[in-house]
Structure 1
Amino acid sequence: MTTSCIRTLFILVFILSAQLVLSQESFLFYLQPQLALNYNVTSSYSHNFTLSSRNFIYREDKFKLEGRNFDISHFSNFKTGVNTSFGAGLMYRFRKLFDNTRTNELRFTQQLNTTSRPMVVRYGHRWRTEQRFFPDVTVHRFRYRFTLDFPLEGEKVDINEAYLILNTEALLSVASSRGAQYDQRFTAALGWLLEEKVQLQAGLEYRLEDYTRNTHPVLFLNSSLILSL
């Protein structure tokens, strides 16, 4: 399948998704750009620094661009094998900048990641635990993500070539005096290797939040510029 066909498919999926979710009263649509910097300290130890902004595009049955939160995060990764790594990180989410009635969040994350590539397609499994600290409650979240990614031309991604990323993630959130919350996420993104250490990614993420009790559909238009040192 050529890159042009993939792009056309993305446009069709976007239109169909928008028609489906805009008809739901509780639907939210976000724009989420991100800037990431990867830095390899050694061959088995690396850092990741990320700045991310989440903005409303559609809510309360109308389109409008409005900031929701701004995130600063750091992650350290340790390779324990050819296809295995574990990591730990922290994030601070600024919410009060955009809404005085909301509180900021401090988050700690731990993860285990494994990958395999028997042929052209790479398979990835990621397990995460998170502790989300708010002034009035601490939320513990458990996550599992399965990912496929592969080049759209040839057997590997060369400069100025594209690749496709598909993943789904299941989440469970628990907190004292609150019932368990189950979420599911689905993501499709196109990536381009612009230069040897510069990547650009853009895609859609569809979330079903709290789907066992009161489902909230959420759509994200994501973009990432990834720089590696």
Structure 2
Amino acid sequence: MNISCTRLLVVLFVFVSISTKAQDHTEVFHEHEFNFRHSFSQKYSANFGLSSRAYVYTNEDVLYNLRQVQISHFSTLKLDLKHSIALGLMYRNRDAFENSSNEIRVTQQFNRKSLFKTLRVGHRLRSEQRFYDSFTAFRFRYRLALDIPLQGLKLDVGETYFVVTNEGLLTSSKVHKPELEYRISPSIGILLSEALNIEFGVELRLDQLNINTEDSLFFNTSVDIKI
């Protein structure tokens, strides 16, 4: 592991330490995700995801209790080298693990990517319809992502990269007040092969910013496989 990667790991550790000490009631989760991608043509590709979320720390107790599992699908159509649109469908099950509603989610997405030397910049707009047992919520999201290889001018097999995402969210429904959220997530990824890469990161979520701010911290791991 080179010096740059080591420094980024130190930054992630400091980020986690500051975040967990910022609030006495911070909840900590672990989220793990598997994604399977397949390109049917140069323009159309599909992604199938399986993920789980577990409590790691809550109410001053350390534990590991599964909270939910979910499956998802995204169909993506490239418009040109920089732009794409996508349609997603997700099913989340919580009722099997806690007294909470399951969810079906439909997502529409627009994505733009730009490259400035070695820095890649991504803009993502999403609208979501979230169907629960007793109500429907509508959410709008904007995410700015920055990623850069840690060795050389481009990412090669066996090398690492750094990515950080910033996202703002607005949720509205008939039964709840509109809610504003913010998320920031730095991560380190490794391209193990042309068809496999993994990422390790942390994510700080600030919910209900306009009502009564609640914060939570996520330790994220993801595996992406091209098939």
What band does the TM-score fall into relative to the shorter chain? over 0.9
Per-residue displacement from partner, 1:49-73 (whole Å, max 9, x unpaired)? 0000000100011110000100100
CA-CA distance at 1:22 after TM superposition? 4.3
**Compared CA separation, residues 115 and 147, structure 1 to 2 (3 A):** same
Q: How does 1:140-219 map to 2 (within 5 A)?
A: 140-219=138-217
What letter corresponds to residue 13 of structure 2 in structure 1?
Answer: F
What letter corresponds to residue 69 of structure 2 in structure 1?
Answer: F
Q: How does 1:19-38 map to 2 (within 5 A)?
A: 20-22=19-21, 24-38=23-37
Runs of 4 or more, structure 1, over 2 Å off, are 2-26
Aligned equivalents of 1:189 and 1:3: distance in 2?
Answer: 16
Among the aligned pairs, what percent are the same residue?
A: 34
CA RMSD of aligned residues (A): 1.5
Equivalent in the alignment of 2:106: 108
Equivalent residues of 2:141, 2:170 under 8 A apart: yes
Per-residue displacement from partner, 1:87-146 (whole Å, max 9, x unpaired)? 0010000101111x2111000000000001031101100000000000111000000000
**Compared CA separation, residues 24 and 139, structure 1 to 2 (3 A):** same
Q: How does 1:93-132 map to 2 (within 5 A)?
A: 93-99=92-98, 101-132=99-130
CA-CA distance at 1:28 after TM superposition? 0.7
Unaligned 5+ runs, structure 1: none
What letter corresponds to residue 96 of structure 1 in structure 2?
Answer: D
So what's the TM-score if we normalise by structure 2? 0.95
Partner of 2:100: helix, strand, or coil?
Answer: coil
Unaligned 5+ runs, structure 2: none
Per-residue displacement from partner, 1:140-170 (whole Å, max 9, x unpaired)? 0000000111100111110100011111000
So what's the TM-score if we normalise by structure 1? 0.95
**Compared CA separation, residues 197 and 16, structure 1 to 2 (3 A):** closer
Aligned equivalents of 2:146 and 2:125: distance in 1?
Answer: 15
CA-CA distance at 1:15 after TM superposition? 4.6
Partner of 1:42: helix, strand, or coil?
Answer: coil
Partner of 1:13: helix, strand, or coil?
Answer: helix
Equivalent residues of 1:3, 1:162 under 8 A apart: no
